[in-house]
Amino acid sequence: MASDMQTGGRLATAAPAAIELRGISKSFGPVQANRDIHLRVERGTIHGIIGENGAGKSTLMSILYGFYKPDSGEVLVNGRPLTITDSQTAIRAGIGMVFQHFKLVQNFTVLENIILGAEEGRLLRPSLSKARGVLKRLAQEYELNVDPDTRIEDLSVGHQQRVEILKALYRQADILILDEPTGVLTPAEADHLFRILEGLRAEGKTIILITHKLREIMEITDTVSVMRRGEMVASVRTGETSPEELAELMVGRKVLLNVQKAPARPAQPVLEIRNLRMVDDAGVERLRGIDLDIRAGEILGIAGVSGNGQTQLLEILGGYPPKGSTVSGEVRVNGGPLPLAGAACNAAERRRQGLGHIPEDRQAEGLIMDFAAWENVAFGYHDAPEYGRGPLMDRDAIRRDAEGKIARFDVRPPSCDLAARDFSGGNQQKIVVAREIERNPDLLLIGQPTRGVDIGAIEFIHKRIVELRDAGKAILLVSVELDEIMSLSDRIAVMFDGRIMGERLPNEATTGDLGLLMAGVDPATAPPDTMPPAHEHVEDLPREA
Amino acid sequence: MEKMPKWADVLLTPLISLVLAMAISALVILAIGESPVEALTTMIDGALGSSYGWGFTLYYATNFIFTGLAVMVAYHASLFNIGGEGQAAMGGLGVALVLLSVPLPHWALALPAGMAGAALFGAAWALIPAWLQAKRGSHIVITTIMFNFIAAAALNYILVNLMRPVGSMDPASARFPEATHLPKLSDMALAFGIEWGKNTPVNISFFVAIAACLLVWLLIWRSRLGFEIRAFGKSEPAALYAGINPVRITVIAMLISGGLAGMMAINNVMGEAERLVLNAVEGAGFIGIAVALMGRNHPLGVFLAALLFGFLYQGGGELALWTSIPRELIIVIQALVILFTGALDNMVRMPLERMFLAIRKRGA
């Protein structure tokens, strides 16, 4: 047929790209998520796609995987035009996707999850035994070891991700798309993932890596494309660019990647935590004797893989210990005891004691997504006398205050009446940060201040945090982003399994050193032979019962 | 960005749903061999065609305003109170106990006393499910519906064994004293020399219901407590983060909700029957759910939806009286309205949203 001949002709001149997009556009109502995107990903390469939140990366990949239909444009897979109507078409074309939020059945085993949707015949057994064989081979080839008979709920996050990759490979994916794969991993796990990806590339597979971490792009990709506001603004060889240039392309202006700050001048202690313990409703000890001090005018950063007790620590300090938990120990703020249980242990009382709190999950906790921006500015402080006397709220006073905060924190669009959910992640966070910082708290608790926040806003938020420190306030910063901890903190404490594994000063700490602490190993005390190989996972280490 | 203008959201959507429900009702009426046009004219004539019809329509609407507001307030705290039926029944007991035990010389005194009794008993009946929900996590849908049955059974016992006047065969309380009878709207109109709604039960409670709409609006959208109720209803983790006590909000919201449902008794028990009879609520507690749903959980919407359901109720009665369409059909029509405005809301909303987006795009 004529079209085939044409394709054949082109094949002779140059090898077709694994993926080629021509003029892809997609809009959701008035929002143009993708505008005339052209992209070429060569076979056997790792191609990075970076961009701020809302730049259109995920939309583009969803089009590739058949979740959305483009308004216009063409997709070519291995040189052939393909209309991808659903994920089945994508899978048949050899495209596999590893989502940021895994799509695994928690109480199924690894094997069951792998064949889910790829069962052959009515009986499961033949599929299962076939999958077992394939899995064994894949494990050897790519360092993708997972026990096929473990349930997903018993696996660590890093292992769950491996299952997702295995799922795609089992479906004979040739092109693997990974969406923010390292967001939930320790540095060691991320390294392991990169080794897996390099192995896959060596086998001729094509990998598209979506991320907002410049370091990863520089480390592993061959080529990189930058998206900004729905457009592909650049596609370059990774070797010929720099993080600074990529950041500038992403944001559209120069960005300071490192936080500029003067040395801290710590004064009197503001927060003193002694032997803080917490047992959750299932009887598991989640905090195992935390001792911490923070002085006025310093930022203490808590590093660690998420799920090692940081959330519980923030919730207890914030005045709302997890339901059914038992908390013991002693916490003092400005010398006065902080109640850890009972009616006086609530977030409103904490605010009166001079605590501010930027919570880890702004969408679930920090904001009411359906409330307008001005209502969210009052949220948590709605009892404040300046917001009205008596039982009624003074809407004008709150709006005036909100307008000021929105202007000072450059929230965009600068609208009081827009619901929180209609702001981008970065601007949502700015609303929370404005509300908490402008109350001028003696102690500010901060959880994941820049999670899902674009680079421009990160820079801004970091600056405000440092300003608060310089105003002589104490700051407790919890973040899973090691870069953020290293650049913001005056001291770093590493948390693992409900304990503080050790404290470091940022100028003498290395990523490797902190990574070991995050995995539960103290490099200072552990003899060399007990140190786990770097790719071993936290969960593989012996733990106390 | 708003997907469509507010007026379309609050007016157009329920209106289209209503038209769809009526279209299907018309098909059902056709199917049983009657004329839908005749049925509609009979309903409109009977409910709105005379001051007599209006008198009944407004009387029913008064009931539905109270129960609709009750569902609405709880809904804003993300609590689905389907115990309005039992709370309204208990409100009736409260009214009866107050009026039969305290000698009150004038209706102007009896009205606030009756309101207090009704609200107190209704709130008390909502308190136990609220407490169980807040402290034990027992789901409020289950407990409130069970409390409807307990209320019905308890009232049955109380009326038959305790409150029934000696020698009476009727499971009802004694009549309330003459001085406590509430003025009917027809009497009030007559005082201005207007003959309106003679022999209809609508009474001064209608104005209390309107005042309740205003107060509930003030509570939910203007007060600190309302702010906390709405915040808690949207997100419990966020409420905890903000220092809002979930137990306190659950209990307070349910007390207000139960109190409002109970207040219905000043209309049907105090204003109309003037004694406590069995099964006085007649399903108004459940209709309150539909009213709140259709009224988009806003007092103005509740008021309008209550009028609509008052019309359906009165018109349905007329339908049974003047045509051979059975009274049950009106339940079918009501069910269709509930189905379309509540359950199938998105069926109408989503095409509408798309339409408005397309219009806007063309305009831009």
Given an 8 Å threshold on Cβ–Cβ distance, is A29 in contact with B238?
A: no
Assigned domain for A178 exists: yes
Interface with A, mutate which of B6, B227, B247 (most A CBs under 10 A): B227
Angle, alpha carbons A82-A85-A91 (nearest 5°): 70
Assigned domain for A6 exists: no
Assigned domain for A50 exists: yes
Q: Show the DSSP H helices in B223-281 as ranges.
A: 224-234, 236-241, 246-263, 265
At A52, the pLDDT band (50, 70, 90 cuts) reads confident
pLDDT for the residue numbered B187: 92
Residue with token string 């004064």 = A267
pLDDT for the residue numbered B363: 65
pLDDT digits (tens, 9 = 90+) for B260-310: 999 999 999 999 999 999 999 999 999 999 899 888 899 999 999 999 999
Assigned domain for A229 exists: yes
Mean pLDDT to the nearest integer, A445-473: 90
Task: Please indicate whether residue A9 or residue A278 has the higher confidence score (pLDDT).
Answer: A278
pLDDT digits (tens, 9 = 90+) for A375-418: 999 999 999 999 998 899 999 999 999 999 999 999 988 889 99
Interface with B, mutate which of A371, A386, A389, A415 (most B CBs under 10 A): A371
Q: Are residues A23 and A163 in the same domain?
A: yes
Query: Which among A251, A283, A308 is the end of a domain?
Result: A251
| Predicted-assembly ipTM surpassing the 0.90 threshold | no
pLDDT at B89 over 90: yes
Mean pLDDT to the nearest integer, B329-346: 79
Q: Which two tokens stand for residue A374?
A: 């001005």
Instruction: Phi first, then psi: give them for residue A524, nearest 5 degrees.
Output: -75, -30
Least confident segment among A54-63, A231-240, A459-468, B230-239: A54-63
Q: Are residues A169 and A291 in the same domain?
A: no
Tell me the residues of B at the A interface, defined by beta carbons under 8 Å apart: 1, 3, 218, 222-225, 227-228, 230-231, 234-235, 237-238, 240-245, 357, 360-361, 364
Instruction: Phi first, then psi: give them for residue A340, nearest 5 degrees.
Output: -105, -5
- Of A458-462, B64-68, B343-347, where does the model show the most confidence? B64-68
Assigned domain for A3 exists: no
Q: Are residues A106 and A127 in the same domain?
A: yes
Identify the H or E element spanning A208.
strand A206-211
* Fold of the CATH domain B57-306: ABC transporter involved in vitamin B12 uptake, BtuC (1.10.3470)
Q: Are residues A479 and A406 in the same domain?
A: no
Among B225, B234, B240, whose Cβ lies nearest the Cβ of A320?
Answer: B240
* A509: containing domain: 267-354+441-545
Mean pLDDT to the nearest integer, A494-513: 89
pLDDT at B362 over 90: no
pLDDT digits (tens, 9 = 90+) for B166-205: 888 889 999 999 999 999 999 999 999 999 988 999 999 9
pLDDT at A59 over 90: no
Task: Please indicate whether residue A246 or residue A367 has the higher confidence score (pLDDT).
Answer: A367
Using CA atoms, how far apart are residues A46 and B205, in angstroms rounded to an integer? Answer: 74
pLDDT for the residue numbered B169: 87
Q: Are residues A108 and A34 in the same domain?
A: yes
Mean pLDDT to the nearest integer, A237-258: 81
Query: Which among A251, A280, A310 is the end of a domain?
Result: A251
Q: What is the mean pLDDT of chain A?
A: 87
Q: Are residues A100 and A202 in the same domain?
A: yes
**Residues from chain A contacting residue B357 (CB–CB below 8 Å):** 29-30
Query: Which among A186, A219, A251 is the end of a domain?
Result: A251
Assigned domain for A259 exists: no
pLDDT for the residue numbered A424: 80
Among A318, A391, A422, whose Cβ lies nearest the Cβ of B224?
Answer: A391
Angle, alpha carbons A167-A172-A176 (nearest 5°): 70
At B3, the pLDDT band (50, 70, 90 cuts) reads low
- Give the chain B residue nearest A314 (alpha carbons): B241
At A526, the pLDDT band (50, 70, 90 cuts) reads low
Domain boundaries, chain B: 57-306
Using CA atoms, how far apart are residues B297 and B310, in angstroms rounded to an integer? Answer: 18
Among B225, B238, B244, whose Cβ lies nearest the Cβ of A364?
Answer: B238
At A100, the pLDDT band (50, 70, 90 cuts) reads confident
At A539, the pLDDT band (50, 70, 90 cuts) reads very low
Among A346, A361, A375, whose Cβ lies nearest the Cβ of B243?
Answer: A346
CATH of the domain at A188: 3.40.50.300
pLDDT for the residue numbered B351: 85
Q: How many domains does chain A have?
A: 3
Q: Are residues A247 and A278 in the same domain?
A: no
Q: Are residues A67 and A149 in the same domain?
A: yes
Q: Are residues A184 and A302 in the same domain?
A: no
Cβ neighbours for A135, distance < 8 A, ≥ 6 positions apart: A110, A111, A114, A146, A148, A166, A170
Rg (CA), chain B: 21
pLDDT at A11 over 50: no
Using CA atoms, how far apart are residues B244 and B234, in angstroms rounded to an integer? Answer: 12
pLDDT for the residue numbered A537: 41
Q: Are residues A421 and A449 in the same domain?
A: no
pLDDT at A275 over 90: yes
Q: Are residues A383 and A499 in the same domain?
A: no
Rounded percentage of chain B residues whose pLDDT exceeds 90:
71
pLDDT digits (tens, 9 = 90+) for B95-135: 999 999 999 999 999 999 999 999 999 999 999 999 999 99
Q: Are residues A347 and A378 in the same domain?
A: no
Say how many CB pairs under 8 Å bridge A and B.
Answer: 77
pLDDT for the residue numbered A57: 86
pLDDT for the residue numbered A3: 42
Q: What is the mean pLDDT of chain B?
A: 92
